[in-house]
Amino acid sequence: MKKTFLILLLAIAISGCQQKEEPKSQYQFPTGPVQVAPVQIQDDVKILQEAVKKDPHNVNAWIKMGNILMDASRFNEAIEAYKKALDIDPKNIDVRVDMGTCYRYSGRPDLAVQEYRKGLEINPRHQNSRKNLAIVLAYDMNDRKQAIKEFEKYLELFPNAPEAERVKQEIQKLKTS
């Protein structure tokens, strides 16, 4: 019995030593929403709808509902939930950024830009507002000049951000195209 146990332990130890670490892939800017199972979404949305029906000022329920709907690519519905959350907490920059992203994916990049800028008015150092604003300006609004300025400001504020190298590459790409 002890011999079998020792052999099993040795086999586990050897197999653990032989595992290779996967190479890290380079960061890619997001191109679309995450896909979520439709049945689970409906259940979650129903629960949250009941919560906000009982307490319309439940900001967390509105935010969670917006997040779930956004992840399900139901952008217009997510925008409505985020608007309700912002009615309660207008300075919630993360919700503004998410709502801006929903505007972008629903074909309204001009409104996305407005939301990102509102976030930057509240906090000029908000990382996602700055980066998302630059991305939408560059790739949806075709305002390369302003996008470069926003990306450069991003690097000035966050020189050690994980995606700083990728942002530098985007700036070069925008300058040469």
Query: For the whole model, what pTM was predicted?
Result: 0.76
For the chain, which residues make up each domain, given as ranges? Answer: 117-177
Instruction: Tell me which of 51 and 85 has the higher pLDDT.
Output: 85
Label residue 138 by pLDDT band (50, 70, 90): very high
Instruction: Tell me which of 7 and 143 has the higher pLDDT.
Output: 143
Whole-number Å distance between alpha carbons of 172 and 166: 10
Lowest mean pLDDT among 21-25, 75-79, 96-100, 109-113: 21-25
Provide the pLDDT for residue 46.
87
Q: Where are the alpha helices (DSSP H) in the chain?
A: 2-17, 38-54, 59-71, 75-88, 93-105, 109-122, 127-139, 144-157, 164-176
Label residue 67 by pLDDT band (50, 70, 90): very high
The answer to whether residue 65 scores a pLDDT higher than 50 is yes
Instruction: Tell me which of 12 and 119 has the higher pLDDT.
Output: 119
Mean pLDDT of 18-25: 43
Provide the pLDDT for residue 32.
53
